[in-house]
Structure 1
């Protein structure tokens, strides 16, 4: 069945109201206005790595973006003193990222805000329905990625 113009309009409106709005709302909750939601997500991947070293390339792969897109944001996080990087002892070109104490504190503070928001959505929408909806969105995104190849 072919998409009608009204369907396309609905998709465009849903995109604008969902992904863009969610991103800007989440970003507005970050306690440091210099930190974008994308930067917060970089900090999230570093935090989740724990004591395991993580590289810029690994974060780019996990976020499915280019290294250059992550690199600019990493540069800002370094300038803000929220993360630090250390060169590999064997391959000096390889840089491992970690949160500074300041970065860890900012991450923990904002992680709680986001978890509280997501818990509220989950409580009101229903956890199973919420997760199922996100699974559907991910399935749609995978199909779209394949059609773009």
Structure 2
């Protein structure tokens, strides 16, 4: 199959299905005025102690300002709060509010159920294979961007 034919088929598949993939994955969070990225921040805070803005940015491979914008929304929604480190007042730890913890648990359960339905339909082998391809694609894309993630180019 030639490159142009592959490109045409990719565009067709993208228009008909892939562009809806993000919505399918992020829909459980939307009910609570969250983007998928904001939900992921809530999830990180729920899973680990002493989470900082810098640690999240490093983990995601994006700028601190990108994470800061997401954190401002979470603060305004009263899903998180910040607490200064007693030893280093420049560092602030992020914590879930009781409402934030409740929302994170609800969205995590819904996301797990939705993803589980995909695995049930396609099987674990296909799901793992697709995930491997996406990881490889991400590595190549990052290399082509000079080591930066696509989010950093925005």
The question of 1:122 aligning with 2:131 is answered: no
**What's the CA shift for 1:132?**
1.9
The question of 1:109 aligning with 2:115 is answered: no
Distance 1:105 1:33 in 2: 11
**What's the CA shift for 1:69?**
0.8
Counterpart for residue 92 of structure 2: 95
Between 1:105-114 and 1:56-65, the stretch displaced more is 56-65
Q: Deviations over 1:35-56 (max 9, x none)?
A: 111100111111111xx20101
List gaps (5 residues or longer) in structure 1.
none
**What's the CA shift for 1:105?**
0.2
Contact kept? 1:26, 1:114, Cα under 8 Å: yes
Counterpart for residue 26 of structure 2: 27
Counterpart for residue 73 of structure 1: 70
- RMSD after superposition: 1.9
Q: Which has the higher contact order (CA 8 A, sep 6+)?
A: 2
**What's the CA shift for 1:24?**
1.9
* 3-state SS of 1:84 partner: strand
Contact kept? 2:82, 2:92, Cα under 8 Å: yes
Equivalent pairs, count: 145
Q: 1:92 to 1:10 in 2, by over 3 A?
A: farther
Contact kept? 1:83, 1:103, Cα under 8 Å: yes
Counterpart for residue 8 of structure 1: 7
List gaps (5 residues or longer) in structure 2.
147-154
The question of 1:53 aligning with 2:46 is answered: no
Q: Deviations over 1:32-87 (max 9, x none)?
A: 442111100111111111xx201011111112211111101101101111011111
Provide TM-score, normalisation by structure 1: 0.87
Q: 1:13 to 1:75 in 2, by over 3 A?
A: farther
Between 1:56-65 and 1:73-82, the stretch displaced more is 56-65
Between 1:27-36 and 1:39-48, the stretch displaced more is 27-36
Provide TM-score, normalisation by structure 2: 0.84
